């Protein structure tokens, strides 16, 4: 396994600078997939003491910030990220999609993302695209289908394309998103007890040796 420090400057978007707090280090690992034997890149977040912090927990503040800035439900963005990359900023698909929201090169250029592996740029482009699709179709299912298969496919079939991958993609996100939305409504917006508290006040700092640290409250 090859492990290197993962440079992700601008990971945090205008967060407050914390007073003290714990630091996280983002490390990019290159390892062989147990099933396929192919080399895959995985980003891990660790405290100074070496304790792992789940990627979803470490990146969630940025997801919430970006989603709310574009008036998109953070829970929907969360569900899309889980389906697309499993919260791995270094993920690359067989088709060449990359990053948290699995942007293709042309889509990234269209939405203004220069570095698809930069979580902030990837999220900014992906959330903006998701918002545009929702506004265009006025329907989450069609927006998700277009995000996965392209607008041309949705237009051709006048609905969710009958592609196995797309049908399963939409089903997975709906199965994840709807219970969260219903749970939030029932709880009056309070965090559910079964979810870990997200890391707050994320701030990226780079030391003299180029190592990246994510500082939290």
pLDDT given at position 186: 60
Three-state DSSP class for residue 28: strand
pLDDT given at position 29: 75
- H or E stretch covering 153: helix 151-157
pLDDT given at position 39: 74
Q: Going by C-beta distance under 8 Å and a sequence separation of 6 or more, which residues neighbour residue 85?
A: 91, 99, 100, 101, 102
Distance CA 170, CA 147 (A): 10
pLDDT given at position 139: 94
* Catalytic, out of 44, 75, 84, 121: 84
pLDDT given at position 7: 35
pLDDT tens digit string along 35-80? 777 777 778 888 888 888 888 888 998 999 999 999 999 999 999 9
pLDDT given at position 163: 97
84 flagged as catalytic: yes
pLDDT given at position 182: 65
All domains of the chain in start order, with CATH: 56-191 (1.10.530.10)
Strands 2-5 and 23-32: antiparallel
Q: Which residues of the chain fall below pLDDT 70?
A: 1-23, 180-217
């Amino acid at each position: 396994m090859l492990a290197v420090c993962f440079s992700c400057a601008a990971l945090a978007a205008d967060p407050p600078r914390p007073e003290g707090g714990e630091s996280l280090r983002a490390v990019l690992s290159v390892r062989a997939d147990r099933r396929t034997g192919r080399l895959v890149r995985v980003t891990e977040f660790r405290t100074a003491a070496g304790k792992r912090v789940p990627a979803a927990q470490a990146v969630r503040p940025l997801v919430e910030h970006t989603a709310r800035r574009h008036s998109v439900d953070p829970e929907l963005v969360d569900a899309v990220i889980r389906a697309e990359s499993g919260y791995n900023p270094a993920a690359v698909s067989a088709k060449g999609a990359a990053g948290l929201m699995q942007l293709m090169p042309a889509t990234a250029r269209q939405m203004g993302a220069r570095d698809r592996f930069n979580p902030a740029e990837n999220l900014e482009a992906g959330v903006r695209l998701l918002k545009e699709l929702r506004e265009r179709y006025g329907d989450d299912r069609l927006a998700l289908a277009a995000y996965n298969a392209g607008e041309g496919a949705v237009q051709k079939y006048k609905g969710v394309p009958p592609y196995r991958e797309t049908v399963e993609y939409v089903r997975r996100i709906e199965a994840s998103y709807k219970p969260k939305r219903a749970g939030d409504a029932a709880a009056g917006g309070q965090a559910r007890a079964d979810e870990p508290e997200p890391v707050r006040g994320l701030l990226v700092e780079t030391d003299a040796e180029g190592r990246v640290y994510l500082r939290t409250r």
